[in-house]
Chains A and B, each alone.
Chain A
Amino acid sequence: MAEVDDSNKPLFAGLSDVSISEDIPVEGEITVPVGPSSQDDAYSTLDEPVKETILRDLKAVGKKFVHVMYPRKSSALLRDWDLWGPLLLCVTLALMLQGGSADSKEDGGPQFAEVFVIIWFGSVVITLNSKLLGGTISFFQSLCVLGYCILPLTVAMIVCRLVLLGGSGTVSFIVRLVMVVASFSWSTFASTAFLADSQPANRKALVVYPIFLFYFVIGWMILTFSPSS
């Protein structure tokens, strides 16, 4: 304790040399300078136009999309999790995967409900798995990350459908294969970058493998999609 006081004394001694009244103006108002005061912020969202509300949420979702496409060590996805993005992606993917089975009931392709159930049930199972293995991430944060990382696969699905419009020969198959493999590895890499830090070091592979299997199955469903001709 004596050493701390000795080192503090020169600091305080130096401060006493500063003439505060000339260098640093300490007068002014203490109230928050922004127009509407902070207490009214919580109520003011009721009065704002609906477009602003929706745009705010859309911007948050869009920002998270950018984080997924360029995975960096950022905690934005984890901190402000939301499930709008995963819902949007899941519905888009399920709708596009289903478009080819208009002619018969048992076409063999996955139905809308099957894709939906696989994505959500698979995410829940993987989240439970990582929590049971001792992960420190919360349930909804993990669902959010897994859902957002389906974005590369959805992009691949759109590209595959466009490629299929031009014909379904061997060339288109190879192009689709390359697209799906690339986006599947991107998804796995992105979600691992977000989720692997929350696991103890000796169990990382145990957590990453189910994620790999999950995106592999989704990639398989995308690759084997064949439209009704």
Chain B
Amino acid sequence: MAAADDLRFQEFDDAESLLAVNREATTISIEDPGSKSHKPRRVAREKDDDHSLIGDTDSDKTELLAGQKKSAPFWTFEYYQTFFDVETYQVLDRIKGSILPWPGKNFVRLYVRNNPDLYGPFWICATLVFAIAISGNISSFLLCLGRPSHRYVPEFSKVTLAATAIYSYAWLVPLTLWGFLLWRNSRVMNVVSYSFLEIVCVYGYSLFVFIPAAVLWIIPSESVRWLSILVAMCLSGSVLVLTFWPAVRDDHRRIALATVTVIITLHVLLAVGCKEYFFDVQDITDPARSVGNLAGNKTALAAKPQ
């Protein structure tokens, strides 16, 4: 029966054959913006597993899907709801993909798959901000344990600083990178460019591995801290490199290498900068400056009346 066949996934050419046989057969057309938009997505997924690195085979379909998904005007609430169209297992999948980068698996093609979300980047950055601030607080508290001259201060202003640093990294760097890739795309025709949201997605999820690293930084041992920061930087850096290398490798050799180097350098700067600012340990032996630059005056003030 034609009705039973229509409920199943069928190729597009079956529509014509159905119509040729029976004029009243219900067929599926790709212009329908309703529930049938799942079909082209499924076709793209089969091709994804074969060409997971190169995106140009389904780039026409990505254009099609991008046009179909965000059809609401940008001043309505529904437009922003399309950026949160993820389920729990999808978010967990993406996080898993960011921790375990595999050569040959492109994060954007494999996990994001034309459904970039803003939930992951936003809440991972928020968690990272609080993780760094709280771990920094705990580690400086542990350093000064048992020293009666020092008074514990929560150092709340560091949270604001951490928030500014991490959110600007997670949003401004993707903006610059997106603009740069767009510009190169106009010069060199076969450079694959990602959409802005996909780049934000990659950066946001790649920051996830720093959350357990920040918790490990509580341990007041320099070797543990440097080891954890190295491991975290390698993992998240390789996620970024595996994503962006196929996008720039068709460019001139130097420009491609320079782009990838800049990406890695910025990432390293963020990690090392956070560690150095929030967890400075060079003052273990010096009680007067034991809490770091911001609280330096306060401990002096507290120590004076005694």
Contacts and interface: CB of A to CB of B under 8 A. Distances in A.
Given A108-B153, A108-B154, A108-B156, A202 B130 contact: no
Contacts of A217: 130
B298 A107 contact: yes
Nearest to B123: A210
Interface residues of B, number: 29
B123 A226 contact: no
A78 interface: no
Contacts of B119: 129, 132-133, 206
A221 interface: yes
B10 interface: no
B81 A132 contact: yes
Contact of B123 (A103, A114, A209): A209
Contacts of A71: none
A202 B134 contact: no
A224, A225, A229: most-surrounded residue (chain B CB, <10 A)? A224
B10 to A, nearest CB: 27
Contact of B87 (A107, A129, A203): A203
Contacts of B126: 210, 213
Contacts of A114: 156
B91 interface: yes
Interface residues on A, range: 20 to 34
Interface string A105-121: 01111110010000000
B137 A224 contact: yes
Contact of A220 (B81, B83, B134, B151): B134
A205 interface: yes
A226 B152 contact: yes
A205 B89 CA distance: 10
25 contacts: A103-B301, A104-B301, A106-B294, A108-B154, A108-B155, A108-B156, A108-B157, A108-B294, A108-B298, A110-B154, A129-B119, A129-B123, A132-B80, A132-B84, A132-B119, A202-B87, A202-B88, A202-B89, A203-B87, A204-B88, A206-B86, A206-B87, A206-B119, A213-B126, A226-B153
B127 A213 contact: yes
A106, A108, A132, A217: most-surrounded residue (chain B CB, <10 A)? A108
Interface in A177-229: 202-206, 209-210, 213, 216-217, 220-221, 224-226, 229
B123 A109 contact: no
A139 B143 CA distance: 44
A103 to B, nearest CB: 8
A24 B294 CA distance: 84
Contacts of A111: 156
Nearest to A226: B152
Interface in B260-306: 294-295, 297-298, 301
A147 B86 CA distance: 27
Given A133-B119, A210-B123, A109 B154 contact: yes
A224 B83 CA distance: 36
B122 to A, nearest CB: 8
Contacts of B130: 213, 216-217, 220
A111 B160 CA distance: 13
A99 interface: no
A62 interface: no
A132 B79 CA distance: 10
B153 A206 contact: no
B31 to A, nearest CB: 26
A104 B300 CA distance: 12
Nearest to A132: B84
B88 A203 contact: yes
Contact of A133 (B84, B127, B294): B84
A224 B152 contact: yes
B260 to A, nearest CB: 33
Contacts of A132: 80-81, 83-84, 119
A47 to B, nearest CB: 43
A10 B91 CA distance: 60
A6 to B, nearest CB: 36
Q: Rank and list the top 9 A-B pairs by shortest CB-CB distance, nearest first.
A: A108-B153, A132-B84, A224-B154, A202-B87, A205-B88, A110-B156, A108-B155, A133-B84, A226-B152
B162 to A, nearest CB: 13
Nearest to B88: A205
Contacts of A205: 88
B88 A206 contact: yes
B168 to A, nearest CB: 18
A121 to B, nearest CB: 12
